[in-house]
Structure 1
Amino acid sequence: MNFKQTLSAALVATALATLGTASAQTVRIGNQGDALSMDPHSLNESLQLSVTGNVYEPLVTRDKDLNLIPALATGWKQTSPTVWRFELRKGVQFHDGTPFTADDVLFSIARASGDGSDMRTYTNDIKEVRKIDSHTVEIETKAPFPILPAQLSFLYIMSKKWSEENQATRPVDRRKGVENAASFRANGTGPFRLRERQPNVKTSFVRNGNYWGKIEGNVVNVEYTPIGNDATRVAALLSGQVDVIEPVPVQDVARINAGGKAKVMQGPELRWIFLGMDQKRDELLYSNVKGKNPFKDKRVRQAFYQAIDINGIQKNVMRGAATPAALLIGPGVSGYDASIDKRLPYDVEAAKKLLADAGYPNGFEVGMNCPNDRYVNDSNVCQAVASNLARIGVKVNLQAETKGTYFPKILRRDTSFYLLGWSPSTYDAHNVLNAIIRCVDDKGAGQFNLGSYCNPKVDELTLKIASETDQAKRNAMIKEAYTIHSEDIGHLPLHQQALAWGVGNNVQLIQRADNQMPFRYMSVK
């Protein structure tokens, strides 16, 4: 064990010891990773949005069943095909006592649209935001955009006054390692306040006594501790040092359920795991192929696809807790069409021939980036992919690392081949088209299309899909766009992963398919 690992283990042990003295109205959560910042616009990652979503709130949110419901907006309506009017909730205060007004909405949307923001795919269809009065705003879109309310459900509102006073008017830029007060402090309107932030050690929250809405659970304090080691995380749950863990390692589900002290809550997650490839550079950053980019050749991309034994990964790595996928969306997402969700066959010999036809009869070397603390068995999945590709002569130089360094790297596009997971926050096929598949621009389109796949026809369809109100026509265009992307081998889809939370018998909570964990619904028996 090196010094960093020793220090990390010591910090976790200290945090767990502290948790052991928690009161009866405290819920202690152990997660495999940490939220990288308290800034709600700095990283469009579900874990970070889940944590900060207890402190900050959007205009429109989701209930237990994922239905859209009012949050900081009490109502909304279209006043023209491109204009939405939002009536804001009155009497709401930020945690520092500052009243919530339309100025905060205008500021927050502008902040989320600006440099350094990781939330620009939520705002790139917005043309202008106007203040009508202190508690009414209008949002004008560039074209008719019927899913705007859903698009705003993860765009959290910050205090303009607090941000200005604390020199936090711009988001924390994870790509550049830039930090500001919003990294470590928070001032939202949500049901919980940030009490203490120790990055990668422990983050504490306390119930907001002045919250405008109803908090259904009885929890007063929440202690959130990152526990990266699977065995340590499970042991902490079974010993009672923590009350909730996420995720449960697939190999430990049966043991936890049989132990009698906790149960595993399982269900499908609206998250798809896939591989991306640099298709833009003329020469890959991390490869022994010089003077050209193998991934620009569809035959190479298809060879990689057909060399991956997805059923083997499902059985041996995921132990059945995954569903192989051919698209970057699946059941539960509006616009999904099962008729095109058909993978290319696993065929090593066909893959070898494709590589040879492309001019790589002996394969080549390529670097691969992968997190080891973000998705279920993420580094093991990457190791399995590397082993599969070795069968066709491709040597994968795998770099698996904590998401704290992984995300900044791939978001800078400092990668040739990478693994990523995506959960469409709008539960609509347009979200993936806009964020993952569209050609990259400087307004937020294709912000997570980190390999820069680009097909102008898909872009044209994506824009039409955004404004189409006839559902049948819209679904037909969605099907066409995803068919083109599949035929292009734009990305390499792997699987839809399953949720697995370990929950002590003393805790009640709800599990949503988007893997959000609202503290407001938690209770201690």
Structure 2
Amino acid sequence: MTHRIAAFGAALLATTALTVTSLSAETLRWARAAEALTQDPHAQNEGPTTTLNHQIYEPLILRNMAGEMEPALATSWEPSADNPNVWVFQIREGVTFHGGETFDASDVVFSLNRAMSENSNFRELLSGVTEVRATGDYVVEIETEGPNPLLPNNLTNIFMMDEGWSVENGAEEVQDYAGGEDTFSARNSNGTGPYVLTSREADVETVLTLNENYWGIGEFPLDVTEIIFTPIQNPATRLAAFLTGEVDFIQDVPVQDLAQVEAADGIGLGTGPQNRNIFFGLNVGADNLERDNVDGANPFADVRVREAMMIAINREAIQQVVMRGQSDPTGAMLPPPVNGWTEELEQYPEFDLDRARALMEEAGYGDGFSIQLDCPNDRYVNDEAICQAAVGMFAQIGITVNLSALPRAQHFPLIANGETDFYMLGWGVPTYDSEYVFNFLYHTRNDGRGSWNGTNFSNAEMDEMIVSLSSETDLEARNATIAELWEMAEAEMIYLPIHHQVLNWGVSDAWSTLVDADDQVKFKYFELN
């Protein structure tokens, strides 16, 4: 059973129901290409890492598999009647951590302060927060610099930790993942979530078992009582494991094998648009690039070079040849479900080599230049193949690209540490608002913002406008600011959008689920048929 949702901007709930029977009625064997980078719940704001942590830890507010926000460790939340800058959260009572510790408001205060600390990869989401305080055992107030109507949207992936466990084990500080630090919290877990970490050998196998004391028993299906996760990077090996029944669920069916999966008995295929863009980032802010052959100048600093590269990308060819139709070419840096997306932003320039070569000549690079492209080879659908195709396309306008493809565990620190001039990145928007994109990708990289802005781009006017988004309560005025920001961002072209990614999930015939547009699997929602 396969469904393709071609245009997914119209609805947040652009998901595909999968009615799909495992060899074991309780154990679900799960495989995907990528492994979690760390167990520290605040160290890496990165899809596969967050997905694994979602089984073990919980946020205050959760997006379910249909993308709807629902109560998790907070039972309710509302602005304070006394102070428009304060949100009041009622914390769920009767919750315990896997180690038996009681969960209360003090753990919320500790966790949010930890998530706002220097090494946290989630601190942009809390950049407007001035104080988190407990006003009762199960009441927390979050105060922001101004009224922040969208604060709850920013909390759906920020996990709660036990303060006592963290202090006892020296885990008060967030792991410095980009710096290569190894910590207790990077190798051990203690959450309130539906599944307990039973065993883990990174890159080999992780076993999770049902939390028998989970507060959500009776509220969620919880038909999956054991999860065996195996990362399988090789597409052919991963597919073979699925087809032969060695695994029950894979998140990334190889696009070249969709027809084979559709034709097979005993398994189901669900396809839907993902809330994720794939793009190239350019180091536009450096005076001189480290990995090119141009001395004393930065070719990416010239917008004509960036425009030439933009129109030298043949997005339709990538869609048809590399992605086998499983992508949605775009000129936008945000997917359709996100507030701020428009049809105009979605349009991408016509592939035009003559115009691109003329722009290169005008910029003084008619003879071209060479540059290194850093690309992951285990994170996005056909990521290395996309980069290989782009190498050939840029060669046609005189840019010799030397491709360096690495596992994402080595690739992402290059961006975090400013050690790349030209790179591939994918970006989802779990808050479904443009502020998330601007905060992480466009704001000047400084304390609390711009942590994934590897371009060295800095614009003081844009920074001020981005900060204003967190406290503007007039939604019409706020959306006008967002529209102006996108106009400015489009003119700068510091990123080269390629396409919106498409999801292909495979599930054996015993299980029913939804294809989550965020690619965030939450196994407590899975049901046995």
Give the TM bin, normalised by the shorter chain.
Answer: over 0.9
2:69 aligned residue: 68
Distance apart, 1:477 and its partner CA = 1.7
Distance apart, 1:145 and its partner CA = 1.4
Distance apart, 1:22 and its partner CA = 8.0
User: Is it true that 1:122 corresponds to 2:125 in the alignment?
Assistant: yes
Equivalent residue in structure 2 for 1:313, among 310, 315, 318: 318
User: Is it true that 1:225 corresponds to 2:230 in the alignment?
Assistant: yes
- Residue 33 of structure 1 contacts residue 226 of structure 1 at CA under 8 Å; is this kept in 2? yes
1:193 aligned residue: 196
2:455 aligned residue: 451
Q: What 5-or-longer segments of structure 2 have no aligned partner?
A: 1-21
Aligned residues, how many?
504
TM-score scaled by structure 2?
A: 0.93
* Worse overlay, 340-349 or 205-214: 340-349
2:96 aligned residue: 93
- Residue 366 of structure 1 contacts residue 396 of structure 1 at CA under 8 Å; is this kept in 2? yes
In structure 2, distance between residues paired with 1:317 and 1:100: 48
Distance apart, 1:49 and its partner CA = 0.8
2:417 aligned residue: 412
Q: Which 4+ residue blocks in structure 1 deviate beyond 3 angstroms?
A: 21-24
Listed one character per residue, the Cα deviations across residues 146-170 of structure 1 (whole Å, up to 9, x for unaligned) are 1000101111011111111111111
- Residue 370 of structure 1 contacts residue 418 of structure 1 at CA under 8 Å; is this kept in 2? yes
In structure 2, distance between residues paired with 1:281 and 1:364: 16
Q: CA RMSD in A?
A: 1.4
Listed one character per residue, the Cα deviations across residues 284-332 of structure 1 (whole Å, up to 9, x for unaligned) are 1211112111111111111111111111111111111111111111321
Amino acid at match of 2:179: K
Listed one character per residue, the Cα deviations across residues 403-452 of structure 1 (whole Å, up to 9, x for unaligned) are 11111222212101001011111011111111111122212x11111112
User: Is it true that 1:149 corresponds to 2:171 in the alignment?
Assistant: no
SS at match of 1:53: helix
Listed one character per residue, the Cα deviations across residues 366-394 of structure 1 (whole Å, up to 9, x for unaligned) are 11111111111111111111110010111
2:520 aligned residue: 516
In structure 2, distance between residues paired with 1:96 and 1:276: 43
- Residue 510 of structure 1 contacts residue 517 of structure 1 at CA under 8 Å; is this kept in 2? no
User: Is it true that 1:500 corresponds to 2:504 in the alignment?
Assistant: yes
In structure 2, distance between residues paired with 1:122 and 1:461: 16
TM-score scaled by structure 1?
A: 0.94
User: Is it true that 1:234 corresponds to 2:239 in the alignment?
Assistant: yes
In structure 2, distance between residues paired with 1:282 and 1:470: 40
1:52 aligned residue: 53
Q: What 5-or-longer segments of structure 1 have no aligned partner?
A: 1-20
1:438 aligned residue: 443
Listed one character per residue, the Cα deviations across residues 238-273 of structure 1 (whole Å, up to 9, x for unaligned) are 000000112111111111010113121100100011
2:9 aligned residue: none
User: Is it true that 1:137 corresponds to 2:146 in the alignment?
Assistant: no
* Worse overlay, 499-508 or 203-212: 499-508
Distance apart, 1:476 and its partner CA = 1.9
Listed one character per residue, the Cα deviations across residues 162-194 of structure 1 (whole Å, up to 9, x for unaligned) are 111111111222211101111121000001111
In structure 2, distance between residues paired with 1:51 and 1:426: 19
- Residue 118 of structure 2 contacts residue 447 of structure 2 at CA under 8 Å; is this kept in 1? no
User: Is it true that 1:257 corresponds to 2:262 in the alignment?
Assistant: yes
Listed one character per residue, the Cα deviations across residues 63-120 of structure 1 (whole Å, up to 9, x for unaligned) are 2321211111111111122111111111110100100111111111111111221111
2:12 aligned residue: none
User: Is it true that 1:338 corresponds to 2:343 in the alignment?
Assistant: yes
2:403 aligned residue: 398
2:485 aligned residue: 481
In structure 1, distance between residues paired with 2:120 and 2:477: 33
- Residue 455 of structure 2 contacts residue 494 of structure 2 at CA under 8 Å; is this kept in 1? no
1:377 aligned residue: 382
In structure 1, distance between residues paired with 2:385 and 2:176: 29
In structure 2, distance between residues paired with 1:509 and 1:27: 13
Amino acid at match of 1:66: G
SS at match of 1:100: coil
SS at match of 1:467: coil
- Residue 65 of structure 2 contacts residue 521 of structure 2 at CA under 8 Å; is this kept in 1? no
In structure 2, distance between residues paired with 1:115 and 1:197: 28
Distance apart, 1:468 and its partner CA = 2.2
In structure 2, distance between residues paired with 1:501 and 1:413: 34
Distance apart, 1:23 and its partner CA = 4.6
Q: Which has the higher contact order (CA 8 A, sep 6+)?
A: 2
User: Is it true that 1:358 corresponds to 2:363 in the alignment?
Assistant: yes
* Worse overlay, 85-94 or 63-72: 63-72
* Worse overlay, 347-356 or 337-346: 337-346
